[in-house]
Every structure is written in C-alpha cells, then in structure tokens.
Amino acid sequence: MRILKDILYNVALKSVQGPTDVFVNSIQYDSRKIKKNDAFIAIKGSASDGHDFIDKAIENGASIIVAEYVPEQKDQTITYVEVESSSSALAFMAANFYQHPSENLKLIGITGTNGKTTVASLLYNLFKAAGYKVGLISTVKIMVGDSEFSTSHTTPDSLIINFYLKQMNATGVEFCFMEVSSHGIHQHRTEGLTFEGGIFTNLSHDHLDYHSSFAEYRDVKKSFFDSLPKTAFAITNIDDRNGQIMLQNTKAKTFSYALKSYADYRTQILENHFKGLLLKINDNEIWFKLIGSFNAYNLTAVFACADVLGLEKNDLLRLISTLENVSGRFEYFVTTNNITVIVDYAHTPDALKNVLHTINDIRTKNELLISVVGCGGDRDKTKRPKMGHIASALSSKVIFTSDNPRTENPDSIISDIEQGVEPQNYMKVMAITNRKQAIKAACQLASTNDIILVAGKGHETYQEINGVRSEFNDYEVAMECLNQLQK
C-alpha cells in the first residue's frame, strides 16, 4: 500500500482533482481486476480503450482514476488524475509503487530484431554458473533466481516488470538480463527503470504491421539507447548498418562487437559445424556448443557484456564454453538413421535466411534440406513473400503451413507466402495447411542424412487459431512423427 502523491513522482500531470494523500492498495489497468481503494489507469489499446471502463472500475471499488481525459460527470469521492500519457504514467507509477527495484540490481536490456532471447538467456546462464544470483525477463520465461514464471510478451507490462524486479530484490538478485522489444519501448513499458547497460543485436524487417515504417522501427530501438544514463554502457553490433546509429545520441559509455569490422570485441569463426563453433574472440580461442554465424554474433555480445560487467576473465573463458542452446533456438536432435531435425524460432526474413545459410554452410549438399515454414496471422503481411522467397531459394524442398493464424484464414496466409516463390523454385514447394500434417510430410520425405528445419514457433508450446490456443510443440511433434516412421 502506498500514498498516491508518492507514486505520482515523475508522472507528466495535466491536472489533479481530489486529494492525493489517499492510500493506494494496488495499481490496475484492467477494470475487472479492480478492488477497493485501487488506482485504475485508463490506457488506450489496439483492441479497446480503458477510458470506456472508468465507470466499471469505480463500480468495482477504484478510488483513483488516472486517464488522458477525465469524465465530465465526476464522482466527488474519487481522485481524478489527468496525465499526458497513461502508459507512461503506468510505468512511473509502477516503479514508484514497488520502490524502484531496478536501482537495487544491475539491469541489462537487450534489443534488436533477432537474438534477444538467446543473448539474454545465455547471459543469465553464464552469470548463474559463475555463482551470482541472477534474474531473467525474456520471451520464453521470467526467472527470479532459480524460480521460473511464465510470460506472454517479449517485454511484459510495467506492473509485471516492477513486480518481478521487486521479487529479485527480495531474493538478493545482483544481475537481471531483460529483452527489450520495440513494442515495449514504444508503449513506455521500460520508462522508470534504471538500466546498467544495453545491447543492440541487429535490425531487420519485422513489426511493420505495428510501426509505420522501418525508420520508425529503427528510431524506437534507438530511443532506448538515447535514454541510457552516462553511468551505463551501450554495446552495439557494428557489422549491422544500424549499429552505429544506435549510439549517436547515447550518454552511455560505448563498446562495439563484430565479425567483419574493426571493433572492441572482434570475432573470427575458425570452425563451424553441427558439433559446434570454434571462435577467436579478440585473442581468445573458445570452443562453443552453439552453431552458426548468427550465434557467433550472439556469443560475442555475451562475451562483451560479461567482460564489461567485470566477470573474472578465467571464469568467463571457462564458463562461456559450457553454454547450451536456448529452447527453440537452433534446437536439434538426430535420429537413429541420422536424420537431423532443427527447430528454430526464425519468424522474420533475416532470421530465416541466417538459419538456412548456417545449415547450408555446414551440410555436404549430398542430403536434402527440407524446410517447414509459416507466418503468423494478424501480423506484418509484407514479410510473407520475402519468407517464401528465402525458404524456397535456400531449401531442397519446402512445405508452407500454418504458424499461429490467429483470426486470419491460414490458406490466405500461405497464399501470401507463395507470392515470393520464383518460377525456378515452384517444383520445390508444397502447401499443407495443418501444421502437424506438414511436419509429418517433411518426416516422410526425409531419408538417411537429410536435414529437416521446422521454423517459426521455436519454444512456443501452443498454436493459436481463431483466438483459441491449443497445445502444440514443434520439437515434440517432429520427434513423435519420426519415431512412428522408424517403427
């Protein structure tokens, strides 16, 4: 419980009508969760507007209303707080309510199109192995020390972030590694947080259903680095054409990493095959269990961050080589008749291209590469033909199928993907709408030594069709299909 005037600190106020020395039991932006003496924050969402539920919130017990515009007919028992931005107000109020938990640990934000989950998870595992108490906020899960919690967004809302950071404070967590999405930045979810540092992985085509242009998408990412304090650090992938742009206006101390350019942390790939990677990072030769040039970038970012954070050099070199693949990120198994199945979250053109190039760089070309690819519904449609072009050009055979169609017709999504297939690749392509049947068909097509890539969903354990989520795990489905075929 907090006093209202204390949790309004740093909120951009337009007006306050009513007392501010009242107690706030909790903060909510969902009127259905409101209880007596709660503060309700009315937020405009893509599907609904919280301002339409102010009366319901009051009916359920709210004593404080925070909104971008307040009702003309006011309840005299209610305190109305008019703000410039409700989502920004939520972020600062959440941080104030939970007593600024980010200030009591070292919070590192990782942003970029691809690699966020891998870098954040590897850093969590590395620092945990080094003996530190560590937290993780990622697409896959939230970790408070050894305790695991589920998450539904890459960057959770401000209340969830601060709640779990507070739990981390209570359990003595020293470092927290957090994915920072463009949605999260744009929706002010990271405001009010104190970051020790930030990492930029790369930038490519994604989320243009949400952002009006690629330039806006880039600038939203950049704003995260613009907001870092001078006491923080910023690490950027200088090989990416937008890597330097991220650092243009930052006050933080800057570092760079690269495979192709001069950088503070420079990596060479000495060996790259299905058993792992041998990298030379600056003057250190290190063997890794992870695979592919995209992971060479991820591992270099991890090395750079750990070094900047002061992890002891011998511990860093010893422990980083023990890191395992992250769930759903180039996760693979090999069957008894030597068919390799790879499950990867690649759901953007660049990520799919990276994974397919990695496989093609390793394989001998005497085996087939069979890809199963789809695109999510109610999302950026412009990337669909690009995904179709890449998959058909870089695979021996490709099956287009459903990903999470959500409320869209899955056949229409597949038709959009097929628009990118060039005439010389038509014979490689088939379409099977049912994802399980598509994976089964890929398994039936595969012979000894062939490679199957199931792309798009990675770690997800569900498939969403018409608003209903059903259990679905690419890794388990592929393993089940191949086990049945081998009987």
The 8-class DSSP code of residue 485 comes to: H
pLDDT of residue 152: 66
Angle at 293 between CA 288 and CA 299, to 5 degrees: 45
Tokens 């966020």 belong to residue: 116
Verify that 73 and 146 share a domain, yes or no: no
* Rounded CA separation 268/259 (Å): 6
pLDDT of residue 154: 58
pLDDT tens-digit profile of 64-112?
999 999 998 899 999 999 999 999 999 999 999 999 999 999 999 999 9
In a domain, 258, yes or no: yes
Verify that 148 and 82 share a domain, yes or no: no
- Residue 192: pLDDT over 50: yes
Other beta carbons less than 10 A from residue 340's beta carbon: 20
In a domain, 358, yes or no: yes
In the structure, what pLDDT confidence band is assigned to residue 211 with cuts at 50, 70 and 90? very low
* Rounded CA separation 147/43 (Å): 31
pLDDT tens-digit profile of 332-352?
899 988 999 999 999 989 889
Task: Find the mean pLDDT for residues 159-176.
Answer: 97
Q: Which one, of 364, 424, 418, 369, lies nearest residue 389 by Cα?
A: 418
pLDDT of residue 487: 65
pLDDT of residue 47: 77
- CA distances 233 to 104, 222, 224, 331, Å, are 17, 14, 12, 31
- CA distances 142 to 100, 207, 329, Å, are 19, 23, 17
Residues 6+ apart with CB under 8 A from 471: 461, 462
Q: Are 294 and 114 in contact (CB under 8 A)?
A: yes
Q: Are 209 and 173 in contact (CB under 8 A)?
A: no
CATH number assigned to the domain comprising residue 455: 3.90.190.20
Q: Which tokens sit at 338?
A: 């030597």
Instruction: Identify the three-state secondary structure at position 425.
Output: helix
In a domain, 326, yes or no: no
Torsions phi, psi of 132, nearest 5? -90, 155
Residues 6+ apart with CB under 8 A from 427: none
In a domain, 354, yes or no: yes
pLDDT of residue 87: 95
Task: Find the mean pLDDT for residues 23-28.
Answer: 97
In the structure, what pLDDT confidence band is assigned to residue 207 with cuts at 50, 70 and 90? very low
CATH number assigned to the domain comprising residue 124: 3.40.1190.10
Looking at 96, 123, 147, the residue that finishes a domain is 96
- Cα atoms found within 13 Å of the Cα of residue 285, Cβ hemisphere only: 3
Q: What is the span of the domain harbouring residue 224?
A: 99-320
In a domain, 129, yes or no: yes
Task: Find the mean pLDDT for residues 290-317.
Answer: 95
Verify that 311 and 367 share a domain, yes or no: no
The helix (H) or strand (E) run that includes residue 41 is strand 39-41
Question: What is the percentage of the chain residues whose pLDDT exceeds 70?
Answer: 97
In a domain, 306, yes or no: yes
Verify that 19 and 110 share a domain, yes or no: no
Pairing of strands 197-200, 233-237: parallel
* Rounded CA separation 123/305 (Å): 8
Looking at 96, 129, 155, the residue that finishes a domain is 96
Question: What is the percentage of the chain residues whose pLDDT exceeds 90?
Answer: 84
Instruction: Identify the three-state secondary structure at position 60.
Output: coil
Task: Find the mean pLDDT for residues 389-410.
Answer: 97
CATH number assigned to the domain comprising residue 79: 3.40.1390.10
Other beta carbons less than 10 A from residue 196's beta carbon: 21
What region does 294 belong to: left with phi over 0, alpha with psi -120 to 50, or beta? alpha
pLDDT of residue 215: 83
- CA distances 169 to 82, 143, 174, 175, Å, are 32, 13, 8, 10
What region does 61 belong to: left with phi over 0, alpha with psi -120 to 50, or beta? left
Verify that 19 and 124 share a domain, yes or no: no
Q: Are 328 and 459 in contact (CB under 8 A)?
A: yes
Mean pLDDT of the chain: 94
- Residue 452: pLDDT over 50: yes
pLDDT of residue 151: 78
- Residue 296: pLDDT over 60: yes
- CA distances 272 to 108, 167, 220, 357, 394, Å, are 29, 40, 34, 12, 19
Task: Find the mean pLDDT for residues 427-433.
Answer: 97
Looking at 64, 96, 128, the residue that finishes a domain is 96
Q: Is 328 exposed, middle or buried (0-12, 13-18, 19+ CB in 10 A)?
A: buried
Residues 6+ apart with CB under 8 A from 188: 85, 87, 88, 90, 91, 158
pLDDT of residue 204: 80
Q: Count of domains in the chain?
A: 3
Q: Is 179 exposed, middle or buried (0-12, 13-18, 19+ CB in 10 A)?
A: buried
Q: Are 175 and 309 in contact (CB under 8 A)?
A: yes
pLDDT of residue 327: 85
Verify that 89 and 103 share a domain, yes or no: no
In the structure, what pLDDT confidence band is assigned to residue 214 with cuts at 50, 70 and 90? confident
- 212 vs 137, more confident: 137
Verify that 117 and 56 share a domain, yes or no: no
Tokens 């969402």 belong to residue: 45
Verify that 362 and 309 share a domain, yes or no: no
Verify that 275 and 255 share a domain, yes or no: yes
Q: Is the pTM of this model over 0.75?
A: yes
- Cα atoms found within 13 Å of the Cα of residue 308, Cβ hemisphere only: 27
In the structure, what pLDDT confidence band is assigned to residue 205 with cuts at 50, 70 and 90? low
Segments of 195-330 assigned E as strands? 197-200, 233-237, 253-258, 265-273, 276-281, 284-288
Instruction: Identify the three-state secondary structure at position 226.
Output: helix
* Rounded CA separation 106/479 (Å): 40
